[in-house]
C-alpha cells in the first residue's frame, strides 16, 4: 500500500509539472502601425473586427504565428509572436475597452488565457482561467504551483491580486473541484467540492 501511495504521488507530481511546463515562452517583438506587417496581407486571418477593436492572426512559421491587435479608432497597432500548438491557434473569448481575451489549449487538461492589453500593447498569460469580470477587468484563475491557494483573483490592468485560501478536493489544479463559478454583483460565487467530497458554496468579496 505504501508503494502504491508513493507511486500515485509521483504520477500526480509529474502531471502537475508537465501541465505547467508544457507552455513555451512567447517571443516579444513590438511594432507601430507603419512598421507592422501589412494588415491586408493574404496571409491574415481576421478573428474579429468591431468599432471597439480588432484582432488578426498571421501564420509566419510552423512554430509561431503573429498576432495583431488594436483599437479601430487608433493609429497604434500592436504585434507580437505567440507559439503555435498542435491543437491550433487561441480561441477568441471576449473584448472590452481595455483588452482582448483569448483561450489556448496546450495539452491534456492544460489551458490558459492570453490577455492582450490595448493601452500598453502587453500580453499577459494566466494558467487555468476560471471566470472573468469584464466590467472591472478582473480574472479568477487556479494556481497549480501553489496548492494551498484555492483561487487567485487579479486585476489584469493593475496587477493587484488576492489569494483565496479554502479547503478543496485536490487534483492537477483547483479547478477540478469547482462545480460552478461566476462573478456577480456581490462578488465571486464559487460552488466546489472540499477534501471530504462535500459540496460547499460561498461568495468571495
CB 182 within 8 A of CB 131: yes
**Predicted TM-score of the model (pTM):** 0.80
CA distance 167 to 10: 22
Grid cell 487555468 is found at: 128
Pick the last residue of a domain from 111, 127, 143: 127
169 CB neighbour count, 10 Å cutoff: 15
| pLDDT tens figures, 151-201 | 999 999 999 999 999 999 999 899 999 999 999 999 999 999 999 999 999
Average pLDDT, the chain: 81
Backbone angles phi, psi at 3, to 5 degrees: -60, -45
Beta pairing, strands 129-133 & 77-83: unpaired
Q: Most confidently modeled of 6-15, 33-42, 140-149?
A: 140-149
Domain boundary pick from 108, 127, 146: 127
Residue 14: domain span:
1-127
Residue with cell 517583438: 29
**How many residues does the structure list for the chain?**
205
CB 181 within 8 A of CB 200: no
pLDDT of residue 31: 40
Res 127 pLDDT > 50: yes
Last residue of a domain, one of 60, 93, 127: 127
CA distance 203 to 201: 7
Specify whether 59 is located in the same domain as 155.
no
* Number of structural domains in the chain: 2
Amino acid at each position: 500500500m505504501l508503494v502504491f501511495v508513493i507511486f500515485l504521488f509521483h504520477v500526480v507530481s509529474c502531471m502537475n509539472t508537465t501541465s505547467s511546463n508544457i507552455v513555451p515562452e512567447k517571443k516579444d517583438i513590438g511594432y507601430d502601425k507603419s512598421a507592422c506587417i501589412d494588415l491586408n496581407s493574404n496571409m491574415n486571418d481576421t478573428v474579429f473586427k468591431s468599432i471597439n477593436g480588432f484582432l488578426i492572426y498571421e501564420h509566419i512559421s510552423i512554430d509561431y504565428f503573429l498576432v495583431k491587435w488594436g483599437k479601430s479608432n487608433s493609429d497604434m497597432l500592436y504585434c507580437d509572436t505567440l507559439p503555435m500548438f498542435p491543437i491550433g491557434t487561441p480561441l477568441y473569448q471576449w473584448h472590452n475597452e481595455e483588452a482582448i481575451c483569448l483561450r489556448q489549449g496546450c495539452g491534456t487538461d492544460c489551458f490558459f488565457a492570453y490577455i492582450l492589453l490595448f493601452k500598453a500593447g502587453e500580453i499577459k498569460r494566466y494558467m487555468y482561467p476560471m471566470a472573468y469580470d469584464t466590467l472591472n477587468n478582473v480574472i479568477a484563475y487556479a494556481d497549480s504551483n501553489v496548492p494551498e491557494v484555492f483561487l487567485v483573483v487579479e486585476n489584469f490592468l493593475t496587477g493587484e491580486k488576492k489569494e483565496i485560501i479554502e479547503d478543496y478536493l485536490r487534483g492537477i489544479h483547483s479547478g477540478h473541484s469547482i462545480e460552478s463559478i461566476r462573478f456577480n454583483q456581490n462578488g465571486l460565487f464559487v460552488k466546489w467540492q472540499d477534501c471530504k467530497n462535500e459540496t460547499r458554496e460561498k461568495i468571495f468579496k
